[in-house]
């Protein structure tokens, strides 16, 4: 027995080095960590249990280019895989694909989050001279790379799926992360694209670097494919740990409660100074969020993409909430095609995982213009209406200053979207458009022909505001606004409301599934 144990130890020791010390050194020279170093950095110390380390070790390819297993983060179990770039460059072969499938299946069966640390060029390419040969390195099933997409989709909405891009990921290796819930990318390290610079040059004659084609900045600011851009692999692992702290283990559970030491009945004294009275004047909605939530801690998702809408996670009274807020500082808070996609996907994630939604509303409407209409703002905006209507988690809305036109639909502040509680500040306005715009539209001739156009216009604007934009009149005439509150009461009101709607139970109509306007 002692000899067998000794042999096992030697084989495992060699397998733990993947492609060997020289290839590990090469990865370090590129400023990259190895697969097992990344896992060790992310998980709690000594919590990782690896599976199938010895696959293909007898042909010098231990693990077939991927490391899989389970461990804990802050004591909570997760399943994890990490591409091993020291073995076949982390490319996807048959056993590689089976291991990926297996760890996803385990996450689904155990009801735990699945984390993927991606560093793969995609499907393994067979040299023509080896095709059909008995070479032990060649892929034995070229279709194996596709199995992960199926299991990604099965996991979707059942367990949280988080991806980190930690190298050059191309082809099929970018579709799997795109099917997951959140993607992290590291500046000057992470790149994603379907076809690389060489192919683009050969087909289109265009020269472009990998960084400009698919770097972290591109996908976090321009394409919106990725959700978080960080400065290093260590920052990435910290970000994943922080994100998980807001999420449940699976769709059957609620997110973990965390006492932050911030009194539930604390008044939000800064809010009156943060938000200007003039509805056309900008301000930073982040300051409002930070003053309301527990400890001022807010984890923003997609902060660089479609910044006219803010989405992210925070806590209120210790409970995890998903926040959707207009940002008056960007495009005056107008809603757009891109912001609609961003908002709808986030709402659907929160609904899938029992995370209540808080809607902070201050927008003049949807962004006007030919560009938005041609790009399909109707279709993209409809995604938001679908997501809001579909969501059965608790939904609370707060109208800070204004909401005009279709934006009242897109922010769920009109009846019919299942928003459980709607509050407004004394500065709130709801209407088809702003008072100034309405008067300019309806009284253009009268203003022009009056003895004092400026005074006439000002009087009509005030009349319009009194009739249609006075929250006191709104509170008197409608029942869907549940209360007008002082800004300073915001935090305590929201926490009381969250506890009230916490036990809400609403079932969906039985059917296969709806047809969201993708």
Same domain flag for 302 and 231: no
Could you tell me where the DSSP H helices lie in 268-376?
Answer: 271-274, 285-292, 337-352, 370-374
Same domain flag for 54 and 93: yes
**Cα–Cα nearest to 142, from 94, 205, 98, 76:** 94
Strand partners, 92: 123
pLDDT score of 517 more than 80: yes
pLDDT score of 47 more than 50: yes
Same domain flag for 342 and 455: no
φ and ψ at residue 126, rounded to 5 degrees: -95, 130
Strand partners, 358: 323, 396
Strand partners, 186: 230
Q: What would the mean pLDDT of 239-249 be, rounded to a whole number?
A: 98
The answer to whether the CB of 114 falls within 8 A of the CB of 69 is no
Is 407 assigned a catalytic role? Answer: yes
Same domain flag for 61 and 37: yes
User: Computed from CA positions of residues 227, 230, 232, 238, in that sequence, does the dihedral angle turn out positive or negative?
Assistant: negative
Query: Within a domain: residue 325?
Result: yes
Non-local CB neighbours of 461 within 8 Å, separated by 6+ positions: 435, 436, 439
Is 514 assigned a catalytic role? Answer: no
Same domain flag for 294 and 423: yes
Q: What would the mean pLDDT of 476-485 be, rounded to a whole number?
A: 80
Going by pLDDT thresholds of 50, 70 and 90, the confidence category of residue 129 is very low
Lowest mean pLDDT across 118-127, 174-183, 324-333, 464-473: 464-473
pLDDT score of 38 more than 70: yes
Per-residue model confidence as pLDDT tens digits over 211-221: 999 999 999 99
The catalytic position among 19, 71, 172, 215 is 172
Same domain flag for 172 and 240: yes
Query: Within a domain: residue 516?
Result: no
Same domain flag for 360 and 463: no
pLDDT score of 134 more than 50: no
pLDDT score of 232 more than 50: yes
Report the pLDDT value the prediction gives residue 131, as an integer from 0 to 100: 46
Residue percentage of the chain with pLDDT more than 90: 68
Is 172 assigned a catalytic role? Answer: yes
Per-residue model confidence as pLDDT tens digits over 349-374: 999 999 999 999 999 988 888 899 99
The answer to whether the CB of 240 falls within 8 A of the CB of 230 is no
Going by pLDDT thresholds of 50, 70 and 90, the confidence category of residue 446 is confident
At 175, list the tokens. Answer: 């579709």
Q: What would the mean pLDDT of 134-139 be, rounded to a whole number?
A: 44
Query: Within a domain: residue 458?
Result: yes
Per the structure, the count of domains in the chain is 3
Query: Within a domain: residue 123?
Result: yes
Q: Rounded to an integer, what distance in angstroms lies between the CA atom of residue 31 and that of residue 16?
A: 20
The catalytic position among 146, 157, 171, 224 is 171
Same domain flag for 125 and 8: yes
Is 406 assigned a catalytic role? Answer: yes
Report the pLDDT value the prediction gives residue 510, as an integer from 0 to 100: 84
Report the pLDDT value the prediction gives residue 140, as an integer from 0 to 100: 43
Q: Rounded to an integer, what distance in angstroms lies between the CA atom of residue 204 and that of residue 464?
A: 57
**Cα–Cα nearest to 68, from 106, 33, 31:** 106
Query: Within a domain: residue 253?
Result: no
Same domain flag for 394 and 453: no
Average per-residue pLDDT in the chain? 90
Same domain flag for 351 and 296: yes
Query: Within a domain: residue 118?
Result: yes
Per-residue model confidence as pLDDT tens digits over 65-99: 999 999 999 999 999 999 999 999 888 888 999 99
What range defines the domain where residue 464 resides?
Answer: 435-468
Question: CA 264, 360, 260: angle at the middle one, nearest 5?
Answer: 25
Query: Within a domain: residue 263?
Result: no
Per-residue model confidence as pLDDT tens digits over 166-212: 999 987 789 999 999 999 999 999 999 988 888 888 888 889 999 99
Same domain flag for 304 and 196: no
The distance from CA 319 to its chain's CA centroid, rounded to whole angstroms, is 19
Per-residue model confidence as pLDDT tens digits over 266-310: 998 899 999 998 888 999 999 999 999 999 999 999 999 999 999
Going by pLDDT thresholds of 50, 70 and 90, the confidence category of residue 161 is very high
Going by pLDDT thresholds of 50, 70 and 90, the confidence category of residue 450 is confident
Q: Rounded to an integer, what distance in angstroms lies between the CA atom of residue 104 and that of residue 155?
A: 7
**Cα–Cα nearest to 366, from 428, 306, 410:** 410
pLDDT score of 121 more than 80: yes
Q: Rounded to an integer, what distance in angstroms lies between the CA atom of residue 91 and that of residue 173?
A: 9
Lowest mean pLDDT across 127-136, 360-369, 417-426: 127-136
Query: Within a domain: residue 147?
Result: yes
**Cα–Cα nearest to 396, from 370, 360, 432, 371:** 360
119: domain CATH number is 3.90.226.10
Same domain flag for 212 and 330: no
Q: What would the mean pLDDT of 31-44 be, rounded to a whole number?
A: 97
Going by pLDDT thresholds of 50, 70 and 90, the confidence category of residue 476 is low
Going by pLDDT thresholds of 50, 70 and 90, the confidence category of residue 139 is very low
This prediction has a pTM of 0.92
């Amino acid at each position: 027995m002692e000899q067998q144990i000794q042999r096992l130890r030697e084989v495992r020791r060699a397998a733990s080095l993947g492609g060997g010390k020289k290839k590990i050194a090469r990865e370090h020279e590129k400023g990259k960590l190895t697969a097992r170093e990344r896992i060790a950095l992310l998980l709690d110390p000594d919590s990782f249990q690896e599976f199938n380390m010895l696959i293909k070790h007898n042909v010098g390819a231990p693990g077939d280019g991927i490391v899989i297993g389970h461990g804990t983060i802050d004591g909570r179990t997760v399943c994890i895989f990490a591409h091993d770039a020291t073995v076949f460059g982390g490319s996807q072969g048959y056993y590689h694909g089976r291991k990926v499938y297996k760890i996803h299946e385990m996450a689904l069966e155990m009801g735990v989050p699945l984390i993927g640390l991606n560093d793969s060029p995609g499907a393994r390419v067979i040299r023509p001279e080896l095709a059909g040969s008995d070479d032990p390195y060649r892929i034995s099933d070229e279709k194996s790379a596709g199995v992960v997409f199926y299991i990604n989709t099965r996991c979707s909405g059942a367990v949280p799926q988080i991806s980190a891009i930690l190298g050059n990921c191309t082809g099929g290796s970018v579709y799997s992360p795109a099917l997951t819930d959140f993607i992290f990318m590291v500046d000057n390290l992470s790149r994603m694209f379907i076809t690389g610079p060489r192919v683009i040059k050969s087909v289109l004659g265009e020269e472009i670097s990998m960084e400009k084609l698919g770097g972290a900045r591109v996908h976090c600011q321009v394409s919106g494919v990725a959700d978080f851009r960080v400065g290093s692999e260590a920052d990435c692992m910290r970000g994943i740990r922080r994100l998980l702290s807001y999420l449940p283990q699976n769709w059957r559970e609620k997110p973990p409660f965390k006492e932050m030491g911030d009194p539930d009945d604390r008044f939000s004294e800064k809010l009156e100074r943060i938000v200007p009275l003039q509805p056309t004047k900008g301000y930073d909605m982040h300051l409002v969020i930070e003053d309301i939530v527990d400890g001022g801690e807010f984890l923003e998702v997609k902060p660089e993409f479609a910044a006219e809408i803010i989405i992210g996670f925070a806590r209120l009274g210790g409970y995890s909430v998903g926040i959707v807020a207009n940002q008056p500082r960007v495009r005056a808070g107008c809603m757009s095609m891109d912001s609609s996609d961003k908002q709808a996907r986030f709402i659907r994630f929160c609904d899938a995982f029992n995370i209540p939604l808080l809607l902070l509303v201050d927008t003049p409407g949807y962004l006007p213009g030919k560009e938005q209409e041609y790009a399909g703002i109707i279709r993209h905006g409809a995604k938001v209406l679908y997501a809001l209507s579909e969501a059965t988690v608790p939904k609370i809305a707060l109208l800070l200053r204004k909401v005009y036109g279709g934006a009242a639909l897109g922010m769920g502040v009109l009846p019919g979207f299942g928003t459980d509680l709607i509050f407004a500040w004394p500065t709130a306005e709801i209407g088809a458009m702003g008072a100034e715009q309405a008067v300019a539209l309806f009284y253009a001739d009268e203003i022009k022909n009056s003895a004092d156009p400026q005074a006439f216009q000002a009087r009509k604007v005030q009349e319009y505001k009194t009739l249609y934009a006075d929250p006191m009149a709104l509170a008197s005439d409608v029942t869907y606004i549940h209360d007008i509150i002082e800004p300073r009461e915001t935090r305590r009101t929201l926490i009381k409301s969250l506890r009230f709607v916490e036990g809400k139970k609403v079932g969906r109509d039985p059917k296969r599934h709806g047809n969201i306007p993708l």
